[in-house]
Amino acid sequence: MAHLLPLRVFLSSQTQETPSKPLKLSKRSNNHKTSISTAKKGLLSPSHKMHKLNLEVSPHRAVSAVRLMRIEFGGAFADLLNEKGKGSGDNEMGYVERTLGFRTRDLDDRDLRLVTDIVGGTIRWRRYLDHLIGSLCHDESMFRSMEPLLLQILRIGFYEIVKLNMPPYAVVDENVKLAKVALRPGAGNMVNGILRKLVLVKENNSLPLPKLEGDSRAQARALATLYSHPVWMVRRWTKYLGQEEAIQLMMWNNSDPSFSLRANAAKGITRDDLVMQLNSLKVPHEVSLHLDDFVRVKIGLQNVIRAGLLKEGLCSVQDESAGLAVSVVDPQPGEDIIDCCAAPGGKTLYMASRLRGKGKVHAIDINKGRLRILKETAKLQKVDGVVDTIHADLRTFAESSPMKSGKVLLDAPCSGLGVLSKRSDLRWNRRLEDMEQLKNLQDELLDAASTLVSSGGVLIYSTCSIDPEENKDRVEAFLVRHPEFRIDPVNRYVPSDFVTKQGFYFSDPVKHSLDGAFAARLVRTL
């Protein structure tokens, strides 16, 4: 399951329709799948407020508040990129109008950048911000009973003051206006009082933060607040990495993400061509140190999107860690490769590009809709001639299909703990219980994929996780069940800095400044 999404999926800022009338939540829920309910006391009816233009409310704050509501309660993704017309200013303002019942002035480029920064940052720092908000409320019950839209407005204000260091009293004034218009005057007064308390304690360097002391549980809770991660993740990483490395990992997850672009060789685009395009767009970049087709981009990706480079299939957004996993597969022209959990298709498309028009990638996936998008993207990138899509559950497909291949890739469904810097919402959507279920699924898929490998062929198991229980532990358990396979060290395929003692590929976010990823080559000897 590659973690590169094609443009229409990766850049979409919504996954479901928002209801067409003003909304408000009466109670906050810890369940991110809670649906957004209708009508709340103090909200004007649609006939009173719909189509109303309010020029006093800051547009980026109104959009950020509504998008945060959609992410937490409506199931939308916390995307960091916006395609024109999908997450663009007009589209986002439509959500504000349907949710709050009014529009602000149109968003300019600066507003859109602020929305990206504030939404991503507020989600990353949610636990930290909520601790501060709760500490500065009159009592704990006030915080726990706070209506969700009011809480989002406070989170935005706290993030702007504490993390973005914006002029504090301008932040107070603008968020008070938003609360008064979107909710009621009393809500604005509450925002005013709490934000002013924050300004005072920040100026006095006395933010109410927990101290790192006590037993391991107490320290894990403190670290979870200070670095804004779930407690179970902190305890898990401290166990496997030690406290200092766990802190460094959380700091990486909280940093602004960087992206990589892959030049599409199948359309005749070299990395030099892509670099020329980026220079013409004045987008700062660095060439990859590890892959010939990749370029790193920290800022300016919106310029790339607006220029149409992704829509035209000239390049793709794909992390180098995923590209290195494809290097472990080592696709060669003329080969037939089975990709077992292919959609949405990042690795599929890169493998297809490396076949140079000769051979085939058989892309199997259980999700018919995402396979359709993969097929469309393959056509866009001029690799449709070597990509064959198969809609099936791998486990049942492997039982009945006579298909065999010398190379089989299982890019398995996983926790995604290696991509938390890009997927800022993912840390709050994962539970410890998920890990056990995922391990069972990964074992089942590995067993199924192994039956598709011909004698002397290779099975490549990969994830976008940094968790050893999803990575080396799964491989070791597989080898116990399947003594007909042995480890084929990856040192011939990736730089030595990425090779573990066991001969696996591993990308460490802190060490390599890339997404976390894992891959193992397993040769069938019988």
SS3 171: helix
> What is the crossing angle of helices 109-124 and 148-162, to 10°?
100
Give DSSP secondary structure letters for 19-34. Answer: PSS-B--SS--S-TTP
Residue 65: enclosing H or E segment and its boundaries? helix 59-69
What whole-number distance in Å separates Cα of residue 172 and Cα of residue 192?
A: 6
Say if residue 443 carries a ligand binding annotation: no
387: tokens are 């990509």
What whole-number distance in Å separates Cα of residue 132 and Cα of residue 118?
A: 17
Angle at 330 between CA 327 and CA 333, to 5 degrees: 130
190: tokens are 């509450």
Q: What separation in angstroms does the CA of 471 have from each of 221, 222, 339, 373, 396?
A: 26, 28, 18, 28, 24
Say if residue 344 carries a ligand binding annotation: yes
Write down the residue that tokens 């301008």 correspond to. 170
Contact in structure between 526 and 482 (CB atoms under 8 Å): no
What whole-number distance in Å separates Cα of residue 224 and Cα of residue 128?
A: 8
172: tokens are 């107070």
Active site residue 464: yes
Nearest partner of 242 among 225, 219, 226, judged by Cα: 219
Contact in structure between 253 and 121 (CB atoms under 8 Å): no
Which of 137, 315, 340, 464 is labelled catalytic?
Answer: 464
Say if residue 346 carries a ligand binding annotation: yes
Say if residue 422 carries a ligand binding annotation: no
Say if residue 393 carries a ligand binding annotation: yes
Ramachandran angles phi, psi of 237, nearest 5°: -70, -35
Say if residue 412 carries a ligand binding annotation: no
Say if residue 41 carries a ligand binding annotation: no
Say if residue 411 carries a ligand binding annotation: yes
What whole-number distance in Å separates Cα of residue 170 and Cα of residue 266?
A: 51
Binding site feature residues = 341-347, 365, 393, 411
Active site residues: 464
Binding site feature residues for S-adenosyl-L-methionine = 341-347, 365, 393, 411
